[in-house]
Amino acid sequence: MEGHIVSRVLAVDPANYQVTIEGRDKSPVSIQLTDQAKNLHNLKVGDTVDIHVIRSVAYKLDTEVGGAPGVTKESMSIRATKDNPNPGGEAVRQVKVTSKITRIDLQQHEVTLLPPEGKATVLKVEDPKLQERMKKLHVGQTVDAIYTEVLKVKTSR
């Protein structure tokens, strides 16, 4: 899934790593950044921000039975260079959620997963090749869902 927005900066609070931009309906949208955000003092009210977001998810099956549900996070950022002092850059965040298979319905092509937060999710398997592979699944195996989000930000005056 991809998203794109070009917006205008309404407020900048470098001390608290907060930026407010104009939303699609012209309402203010506050964005909380991390302390890795640099050069915020160069960002000014009225600057244009061009934001691209790409989100994806991949699944990996652990063939061992008895794994525990859990969550791990990883992130990375690339910032502006000396040649381009405008705030911006690229941030990548990955979250791996390990869920346990609690039910397999071969007739309906559904797999029920129990993630760490405890609310079961039913996944409908639509790809015929994956439906065939469902026969090899076992209750108690774990599935890693790896969510990746890439955020690219450019600013201009």
SS3 category, 3: strand
Mean pLDDT check: name the lowest of 27-36, 57-66, 134-143.
57-66
User: pTM for this structure?
Assistant: 0.59
- Boundaries of every domain in the chain: 2-156
User: At 47, is the pLDDT very low, low, confident or very high (cuts 50, 70, 90)?
Assistant: very high
Contact 110, 131 (CB under 8 A): no
Closest CA to 114 of 69, 78, 75: 69
Cα separation of 26 and 31, whole Å?
Answer: 15
